[in-house]
Amino acid sequence: MNVDIKIERSVEVDAPYEKVLPLLTDLEGTIRRFPKLRKLTKLGPNAYLWEMSTIGSKAANIAHEVSYGAKYNIDAKRGEISWVPVPDRGNATIEGRFKLLDQGQRTKLTFDVRGKLREVPVPLMYRLLAPPFIQGKFTRLVDIFLENTREAVLGGAK
C-alpha cells in the first residue's frame, strides 16, 4: 500500500536568528537530529540516502523501514533548507523545507514535508486506518526533531 504524508509543524526558540543560523551550515548535523534515523549515506554534494528504523506498530502489523534519497539546497539569505527526492533511491519520495523565521529575540523553526511511502505492508483489515496512523507517527517524529533542534540551539546535548 502507498501512503501519502503531509506535515507542517513549527516551534519557537528563545534565541535570536543569528544564533540559530548555523543550523543551515551544518546540514548533516541538523539532519542527524531526526529521530529513528538509523543510517545516513552521502550520495553526492548535499545529497543523502536516509535509512530509518522501523516506524509503526509491529503489534498491529503496520511497520515500515522507510528509506529515501534527498538532494538539499541551502539558501542562507532566505534562512531555508529545502530538499527534493533523488529518483530511484529507497521506498519513499520525500520533499520539503526547514525554515528559520527571525522574530527579534526569538526564532521560529518551521518544518514542512510531503511525500509518498511506497510498499507499506498493511493488513487488509487496517487499510482505512493505516494512512492516519502512519501520518501520526511521522508527525510525532517531526515534533521530536524540532524539540531536539531547539535543545541543540539552546545548548542542550542533542
User: How does residue 155 score in pLDDT terms, banded at 50, 70 and 90?
Assistant: confident
**C-alpha torsion angle, residues 87, 24, 66, 10 (rounded to 10):** -120
Provide the pairing of β-strand 62-64 with 67-75: unpaired
| pLDDT tens-digit map of 69-101 | 999 999 999 999 999 999 999 999 999 999 999
In this predicted structure, the answer to whether residue 5 has a pLDDT above a threshold of 90 is yes
In this predicted structure, the answer to whether residue 157 has a pLDDT above a threshold of 50 is no
- For the domain spanning 3-153, the CATH number is 3.30.530.20
Counting Cα atoms < 13 Å in the Cβ hemisphere of 138 gives: 25
Q: Specify the higher pLDDT residue, 128 or 99.
A: 99
Q: Burial of 87 by CB count in 10 Å (0-12 exposed, 13-18 middle, 19+ buried)?
A: exposed
The candidate with the shortest Cα–Cα distance to 91, out of 132, 141, 54, 143, is: 54
If you average pLDDT over residues 5-21, what whole number do you get?
95
Q: How many angstroms separate the CA atoms of 36 and 125, rounded?
A: 27
| pLDDT tens-digit map of 15-62 | 999 999 999 889 999 999 999 999 999 999 999 999 999 887 766 677
Looking at residue 59, what is its pLDDT? Answer: 67
Residue spans of the domains in the chain: they are 3-153
Looking at residue 53, what is its pLDDT? Answer: 93
Q: How many angstroms separate the CA atoms of 50 and 66, rounded?
A: 8
